[in-house]
Amino acid sequence: MDIDSGKMLVKLYAPAIGLFLMWVVVDLAMRSVAANPMTASVGHEAQRWVPLAIAVPIVLYAHASWRLFQWNTGREPGCRSCGGILREDLRRPYLRCLRCNRTEPL
Ligand SMILES: [Zn+2]
């Protein structure tokens, strides 16, 4: 695997990894809030919902893995220049390559 393919995988899994790290921080914060006697009731209420929030990064991870599988088996069209995975640009009507960062029209 070359360096550009590694960057492509990091970009593909970045949303799931980022949300997982945010979940860890929120979970630790809610544990410390629950441990404080002044804020224990709020912390215990929030701690009930924090485990459900782990579902979001798990779904994003599964979606990224599914896209990687589809691309790897040739079921998803790749970039015309390098063959990398394409992702919709959120601000413009383009597909952006996660490997070479070039754009292609939709
Ligand atoms: Zn490309």
Distance 66 CA to ligand 1 centre (A): 19
Q: Determine, yes or no, domain membership for 82.
A: no
User: Is the confidence at residue 1, as pLDDT, over 80?
Assistant: no
The H or E element spanning position 59 is helix 55-72
Residue that has been written with the tokens 């979940």 in this structure: 23
Q: Determine, yes or no, domain membership for 17.
A: yes
Q: Are 87 and 98 in contact (CB under 8 A)?
A: yes
User: Is the confidence at residue 6, as pLDDT, over 80?
Assistant: yes
Distance 78 CA to ligand 1 centre (A): 8
User: Is the confidence at residue 104, as pLDDT, over 90?
Assistant: no
The H or E element spanning position 95 is strand 94-97
pLDDT digits (tens, 9 = 90+) for 12-71: 999 999 999 999 999 999 899 989 999 888 888 888 888 888 999 999 999 999 999 999
Q: Determine, yes or no, domain membership for 66.
A: yes
Domain count, the chain: 1
Q: Determine, yes or no, domain membership for 92.
A: no
pTM flag (> 0.85): no
